Amino acid sequence: MSRIVRDPAVLEGYARDASGLRHVPEGLARPASRAELVEVLREAAAAGAAVTPAGAQTSTTGASLAARGLLLSLRAMDRVLDVDPARRLARVEAGALLGTLNHALAGEALFFAPDPTSDETCTLGGAIACNASGPRTLLYGATRAHVRALTVALADGTVREFRRPVVEKNTVGYQPTHDLVDWFVGSEGTLGVVVEAELALLPRPERETGIGIAFPGLVDALAFVRAARASTAIRPRCLEYFDAEAFRIARTHADDPAWGADGQVMIYAEDCAPGALDIDAWLALAEAHGAPDADMRVFEGEAAIRTARRLRHAVPATMHERTAPYLATGGRRISTDWAVPLAHAEEALLLSDGFAIEAGLPPAVTYGHLGNGHPHQNWVARDPDEVARHEAVVERTLRAVIQLGGTVAAEHGIGKLKARWLGLQANASQVALMRAAKREFDPEGRMAPGNILA
């Protein structure tokens, strides 16, 4: 295989993602064109080698690591191929960064709405393969809703084009067969390689305002979140939660010690409704839900919103930093990605804290998409024993989450780390259906082994 790198020093650079797992690939391919990519897949097929596609390797679940065989990096295929402002569409290569697309759209008054916190560092192919989402999913939905068509390369090198049907009604057979774009979005590299994508764009809002509000605790913050979602006076685009520790991290990065007291939590919201910001409506709602002094920060305009996003990003980034010293001794960051119906968010978090206390572990640092009933919990596990104890707590939490009508993975996918929990969520028939889809596109089971269907 002419294009395959076997140098151990180079391979080591592709052995880790943000999961804390380590898998050194047996070889590495970095195609710079569709033709090269197809050639690599054909050669891999002839050799019976497994292939795991990878973008920027920001996966938190080990999905971007090659458990066996080759790692196929898409980073060299990074062009924004075409922007059609009139039809509000963009065509991109899979290795283009999500942030790069939005920078390219700056002059068009358009934007690509999915906003994983990692938007400046993750590829569009990776976002599609994980159905990535972010704070603004509250208003815009996840990546799936913004993908119009995909060009994919299958394990044998065959290139296929899938386009969403434009009919508005369809009664032909089982719904999961109606739209093959949906099969590939969220398939984590297990069905084939996303080569190019046609993406839907939205008009950029005329005004964007971020609002950070301190609350005495989770109960008040949640009551505010529910009220904000139900309100007709305001229309939040995101409702993000920072527990006391996450708020402390954000304050440190904001260099704003006067904001909030120790023990207080924070909700970060964005308002982009047409017209001027109705700050009085936000203040009234906050004060009605336990923020009597309305300790509020307003981030007006694009640059200020970017600052606010940096504060939000500081939380997972800090948890990564805190974990880094323990990676070499078998520790890693433990993070959850479950979601529950908003009505059960408090119950789920309290249950989980209780499980941690029973196991003699510290409470999690909790932050994220509370507006979607989707908080992230993070812990630093310092060695394999702590990893095992934390994972037992996570599994108890996930079982409770399922009972509450939730999901074990709401945005980071299943990957390798959560594959053992697939059976908590999907029953035997649902798993069999997934296996049948996998057999259809990848009959030899060579694509992204270990992801989803371990």
Ligand X SMILES: Cc1cc2nc3c(=O)[nH]c(=O)nc-3n(C[C@H](O)[C@H](O)[C@H](O)COP(=O)(O)OP(=O)(O)OC[C@H]3O[C@@H](n4cnc5c(N)ncnc54)[C@H](O)[C@@H]3O)c2cc1C
Phi first, then psi, for residue 430 (nearest 5°) are -65, -40
Establish if 442 lies at the interface with ligand X (CB under 6 A).
Answer: no
Site membership for ligand X, residue 366 (CB under 6 A): no
The residue (of 133 and 264) whose beta carbon lies closer to ligand X is 133
**Shortest reach from residue 16's CB to ligand X, in Å:** 11
Please report, as a single letter, which amino acid is at residue 232.
T
**Paired sense of beta strands 159-163 and 70-73, if any:** unpaired
228 in Cβ contact with 240 (< 8 Å):
no
Three-state DSSP class for residue 165: coil
Segment 159 to 218, residues that bind ligand X, using CB under 6 A: 188-189, 193-194
Q: At what angle do helices 218-230 and 345-358 cross, to 10 degrees?
A: 160
| CA–CA dist 378, 402 (Å, integer) | 19
Please report, as residue ranges, which positions from 24 to 53 form the binding site for ligand X (by CB under 6 A): 52-53
Under rule CB under 6 A, residue 417 binds ligand X = no
Is residue 411 within the footprint of ligand X (CB under 6 A)?
A: yes
Q: Tell me: does residue 20 bind ligand X (CB under 6 A).
A: no
Q: Would you state the structure tokens that stand for residue 105, as one six-digit string?
A: 């759209």
Among 94, 138, 234, 409, binds ligand X (CB under 6 A): 94
Site for ligand X in 99-118 (CB under 6 A): 116-118
340/378 Cα distance (integer angstroms): 17
- Six-digit token pair at 2? 């002419």
CB 292 within 8 A of CB 283: no
Contact 203, 109 (CB under 8 A): yes
Which one among 136, 412, 438, 446 touches ligand X, defined by CB under 6 A? 412
Taking the C-alpha atoms of 244, 250, 256 and 260 in order, what is their torsion angle to the nearest 10 degrees? -20
> Which one of residues 83, 96, 132, 285 is an interface residue with ligand X (CB under 6 A)?
132
Asked if 101 contacts 199 with a C-beta cutoff of 8 angstroms, the reply is yes
Closest approach of ligand X to the CB of residue 274, in Å: 26
The span of 43-51, 132-140, 356-364, 425-433 binding ligand X (CB under 6 A) equals 132-140
How many residues at the interface with ligand X, by CB under 6 A? Answer: 38
Plot region of 275 (φ>0 → left; ψ -120 to 50 → alpha; else → beta): left
Shortest spacing between CB 342 and ligand X, in angstroms:
18
Q: Does 377 bind ligand X (CB under 6 A)?
A: no
Question: Per CB under 6 A, which region of 24-32, 78-86, 128-136, 350-358 contacts ligand X?
Answer: 128-136
Closer to ligand X by CB, 118 or 397: give it. 118
Q: Name which position in 50, 70, 83, 130 contacts ligand X (CB under 6 A).
A: 130
> Across 59-156, where does the E strand assignment appear?
70-73, 80-84, 89-93, 110-111, 147-153
Q: Is the CB of 207 or the CB of 310 nearer to ligand X?
A: 310
Residues that bind ligand X (CB under 6 A): 17-18, 52-60, 63-64, 74, 94, 116-118, 122-123, 125-127, 129-130, 132-134, 188-189, 193-194, 316-317, 411-412, 448, 451
